[in-house]
Amino acid sequence: MLRKSLYVRIVATFIGVVIISIATSYFITAFFFLEREVVNITSRVAEIIELADPEKLPEMAETLESYHFDIMIMDEEGVPLLEQHTPFVISDEDIASVFQSDGQVPMTLSHRRGDVTKGAGFQVEIMNEPYALFVYINSEEEMKGIRGIINISLILVLLVGSLLIFLASRHLVNPIKMLTHAAKEMAKGNFSVRIKSKNKDEIGELITSFNHMATEVEKIDQMRDDFVSSVSHEIQSPLTSIRGFTKAIRDEVIPTQNQKEYLDIIYHETDRLSRLSENLLRLASLDSEHHPYRPERYRLDEQIRRTVLATEPQWKKRELQIHLELEPIEVMADQDLLEQVWLNLIINAIKYSYQKGAIHIELKRGDHGISISVKDYGKGITKEAIPYLFDRFYKVDKARGSSIDGNGLGLSIVKKILGIHNYSIDVLSEEGVGSTFVVTIPDKDGT
């Protein structure tokens, strides 16, 4: 289909353009440039006639005839000055137009044999009397030869040009065929397909864009596989525990006095599943373009203080000290969404702090806007793990995934919410010292 459409259309279009260009050039040359040359030549003949000796005009007329120039000299009554044959029909209107004009009068008159001859009329002065001089170029044979040479040249140009266009079209169409094949491979699920090209033109840019698209699609496909794998693992682990413990309780394998402990584990795992589904739904909503965004002006320091109080059971259980340094600052933002940010960051700091440790939360205005930092004094994060902290289901220490309560979605939600607000977040961490998460709000959103 490609060969029958694009390839054929390119070749046909190029050949059509060549034919039209050749025909246009031929007619322009024939009707404009040749006519201009005729006018120039006949004017030179008229100058010679006017300067010549009147007695030698018959001899000069014969000489000019041998060079395919016919001349006729007539007075206002139409009487010829020279006794000669009249190969051309000259009307009274032609004679009158010459006498009425001060310059050259181009004419196209018919030969008695039916030939059309180019010529011109001039008003000349011979023996102090005005006459009408008609000069005609009788060069049909020579013109036929010239036209033949021109026609052969144009045909050669057409043939050679068509061959070159045919080859050039193959060069143009081949990359498009490669793109079509690569697109079909991607449709089959082969996202590793790439196209090599050294072109720097628009086709090269198209191939570069295709390769970039294929790379991004391959990354998305890998992310999808990782996402499905992570979700399956996060769901399968608590389900396995729930199924095992409920079966043991049902079969009375576990003594009655120990059943409360295992029921607590089952409750904890169901709560873990509930939070996983809640976070997945929240991420899906944030990813969509229809998630509600309702900015309002409110006190940010009061919101952070309320969030700290809401997490009091968690940090008291680990005997943590919370240090707050909050400047009274108002912001224009979605209050519900930002509350999720502070909640996730504080809970994350609580989880990874040492027992009886401390958490420092600071809100201040700086040179680059408003900054909110949440600092813990826990084990810290390795430099290799920092670039992946905000990836979904990523956990710094996968080996302790079951001991640290979480599913790797909290920081992903934080990143997504801050992106909606056009805020930024940075991480500073050192192993054995602790981690600091810093959120920066531009000045335009704070007062």
Position 418 pLDDT exceeds 50: yes
Q: Which residues pair with 80 in a beta bridge?
A: 74
Residues 212/225, Cβ–Cβ less than 8 Å: no
For the stretch 379-408, what's the b/e string if a residue is b when 16 or more beta carbons lie within 10 angstroms of its beta carbon? bbbeeebeeebbbbbbbbeeeebeeeebbb
Residue 410: CB partners within 8 Å, gap ≥ 6? Answer: 279, 344, 347, 348
For the stretch 109-161, pLDDT in tens is: 555 455 555 677 888 888 888 888 888 776 565 556 666 776 777 777 777 77
Helix axes 259-287, 410-421, angle to 10 degrees: 30
For the stretch 335-381, pLDDT in tens is: 888 988 998 899 889 988 989 999 999 999 988 789 999 999 988 88
Average pLDDT, the chain: 77
Q: Which of 10-14, 152-156, 283-287 has the highest mean pLDDT?
A: 152-156
Which residue is associated with the tokens 């992310």?
A: 223
State residue 116's pLDDT score.
54
Position 328 pLDDT exceeds 90: yes
Residues above pLDDT 90, as percent of the chain:
13
Position 398 pLDDT exceeds 70: no
Q: What is the 3-state secondary structure (H, E, C) of 155-222?
A: HHHHHHHHHHHHHHHHHHHHHHHHHHHHHHHHHCCCCCCCCCCCCCCHHHHHHHHHHHHHHHHHHHHH
Q: Which residue from 58, 35, 33 is spatially nearest to 104, judged by alpha carbons?
A: 35
- Indicate the residue type of 444: K
Hey, what domains does the chain have and what are their CATH numbers?
3-144 (3.30.450), 202-283 (1.10.287.130), 293-445 (3.30.565.10)
State residue 376's pLDDT score.
92
Query: What is the mean predicted confidence (pLDDT) over 261-280?
Result: 77
What backbone phi and psi angles, to 5 degrees, belong to 247?
Answer: -65, -40
Name the band, by pLDDT with cuts 50, 70 and 90, for residue 306: very high
Q: What is the pTM of this model?
A: 0.49
Residues 68/87, Cβ–Cβ less than 8 Å: no
How many C-beta atoms lie closer than 10 Å to residue 331's C-beta?
A: 22
More confident residue, 331 or 85: 331
For the stretch 183-231, pLDDT in tens is: 888 888 887 888 887 767 677 788 888 888 888 888 777 767 766 766 6
